[in-house]
Structure 1
Amino acid sequence: MKCLYFILFVAVAQGFVLENERVKRASLKAPSLRQLTAIDPAGFQVDWTPVTSGDPADPVTGYKIKVWELPNKKIYQLIDGVMTLVDEEPPTLTDDIPTSKPHEYITDKTTFVVKNLKRNVFYETRVQAYTKSTEGPLSNPWRIKLTEDKHAKDFYNLV
């Protein structure tokens, strides 16, 4: 019987801890991405709105910038009567988080420069605020593709 009470106590305590963590997460808002600017050589600068914690005892200590490289898929497309192998555009932006492992960068500022990216590859970026005890939700996603032609007027595509 003591074992049953112990298991019940552990289950209730775990539920309290999980509920406390959910409330802490809810007190942190997702940053809003303001601007994504391509830079040369291959990279971009991302700017976002600052986030404040709802708990003064646990302030925001920094931001995580997560950058996913989206896989390039090739498809055949009829161009001027000739079947040509071209890059397929990734699906439209959704709230779904890419399944691949992101590159993660940490800063305490509201701007960050991501460098050493590959050209002709789509990247998705999101930002997340964090405190000592919890991480907030991810921002809405933005996508960018840096193109090869450095002499073109625009050497990037913002999706």
Structure 2
Amino acid sequence: MTTSTDSYRRDLVLALRMGNVPPDRIGEIVAEVESHVADTGESPVEAFGPPREYAAGFARPRRAGDVVSLLVLTGFGAACGWLLATGVVGTVRGETFLGFPAWTALVLGALLWIPPLLASVRRNASIRDPRTGGFLAPPPAAVVLTMSGFLALLTLGLWVGTVLAG
């Protein structure tokens, strides 16, 4: 498989995910594209067109509940960030948070991180190649580690910045 095919696959998987296509169907579509390219020698763009345009033919409309869920999860993420920043700054300065020790804001922020994390894992369900059973996209464990690592680095950065600011 060439780099252009790899790039096309990544872009196609992303476009299909954004189009609300189920993971099993994404695997089938990508397998069809790769098989066709391997059999004919054509580039994927020649055979199927740009990834976004090709994926648009498979897109499913989002339900109203999906939009509400996204807004709620965005609110959770914003509250999580605010609580973490408040907790780090308050802990370093020895302040309180609503009459409680500042570290309680850190705990609340970490708890508010769980719903967006679980939603991301669900949304990024494994996409498997129906021909081999291997992963076409990172499995959910990679998503959890990436998001949790980002949260840990953000919190550490806030703490270090607050300590240095004094």
Q: TM-score, normalised by structure 1?
A: 0.22
Which structure is higher in helix share?
A: 2
Q: TM-score, normalised by structure 2?
A: 0.22
